[in-house]
Amino acid sequence: MAAGPREATTAMRPLPAIVPPPADAGLPAPLIVESRGLLGKRTTYDNPWAPGITEKSLGDLAKMLRSGDMGHVPTEQETLEDLPQAEVDLEAIAQHGEGDPMRVTWIGHATLLVQIDGLNILTDPMFSERASASQMVGPKRFRPPALSVSELPRIDVVLLSHNHYDHLDTGSVKAVGDGPLWVVPSGLKRFMGKMGIKNCVELSWWEEVEVEGGDGPVRLASTPAQHWSTRVVWDRNTSLWCGFAVVGSRERFYFAGDTAYCPVFGQIGERYGPFDLAAIPIGAHEPAWFMKEQHCSPKEAVTIHKELGWKRSFAVHWGCLLPTL
């Protein structure tokens, strides 16, 4: 039987209760290691079906960088010819409301605007020019976001998959602000608080929160992914990574976050599907000897689509930043 919902509160407003999965559901949980060091208690996470599989040595990293097998930044002409950008219908986005069919806008990379049941949900907001600790150096985007923060409608919820710079961008977080409910993986809430985000809940895999949409309650569930986390050299895997299932009154959406292929997608589909639409990452899968354990290829994305029984899927996490071509 499932434990009762655990309360999450903030000084600003009450937060939705976090609902754990049934204890006897047989669902894979992240591997959690507790330790103590010079900085005190330390909690780290790992992928339970293959512990340590995403670990790479500095030698591996150097070999990968020397290989040059990471694609190239397209020229402006190549971008126009090979990566055409559809015009965003700002009026349709602004007018979307209760009772309308789900509408999803790919803003770029892993940033999506999901409009469902009268709610506006943003995923992994990344609007900055560089995915880096500094806007002076680091991976630079060659495709601007399809929408600016100022062009967004009122955002009700932000879903954050993990803490890598191309998914958790501090400038974008501060620009979106503390108005929406931020749903983040375990271990990230304290970091979000340092950026002024207090309206925040953190979830482990299979935990859920419920928010009220215009057409009824909408369930937001954290789902497993095979990946890792870090922002600085000493914080590797001290926060979790995940995808999200969005279960509305009539339609269902799946955001896979950042993931390699792994043996969990059938269970996600059984528990939260069938999904009407899913966003699956396909970028940064080369060179395969280095990337395969942390990112999925287009072929593997098709396998994921089939295993979950989705009606429709589309590719994200490509065509915006190196090395996610």
Instruction: Write the pLDDT tens digit of every residue in 28-71.
Output: 999 999 987 777 788 999 999 989 888 876 776 677 666 665 55
Query: How many domains are there within the chain?
Result: 1
Answer whether residue 29 is part of any domain. yes
Give residue 73's pLDDT: 61
What secondary structure letter does DSSP report for 141?
Answer: B
Give residue 56's pLDDT: 76
Print the domain residue range for 165: 6-51+78-316
CATH number where 290 lies: 3.60.15.10
Would you place residue 4 in the very low, low, confident or very high pLDDT band (cuts 50, 70, 90)? low
Contact 209, 228 (CB under 8 A): no
Collapsing DSSP to helix, strand or coil, 76 comes out as: helix
Answer whether residue 280 is part of any domain. yes
Nearest-angstrom CA–CA distance, 248 and 122: 15
Q: pTM of the full predicted structure?
A: 0.90
pLDDT tens for each residue of 136-190: 766 778 888 999 999 999 999 999 999 999 999 999 999 999 999 999 999 999 9
Answer whether residue 133 is part of any domain. yes
First-last CA distance in the chain: 45
Give residue 62's pLDDT: 72
Answer whether residue 69 is part of any domain. no
Give residue 67's pLDDT: 66
Q: Flag whether pLDDT at 9 surpasses 50.
A: no
Nearest-angstrom CA–CA distance, 223 and 217: 19
Pairing of strands 181-185, 157-159: parallel
> Which residue is it, tokens 């937001």?
220
Amino acid (1-letter code) at residue 92 = A
Contact 30, 185 (CB under 8 A): no
Answer whether residue 322 is part of any domain. no
Answer whether residue 66 is part of any domain. no
Rg (alpha carbons) of the chain, rounded to whole number: 19
Would you place residue 209 in the very low, low, confident or very high pLDDT band (cuts 50, 70, 90)? very high
Answer whether residue 219 is part of any domain. yes
Nearest-angstrom CA–CA distance, 176 and 160: 13
Answer whether residue 70 is part of any domain. no
Q: Flag whether pLDDT at 207 surpasses 50.
A: yes
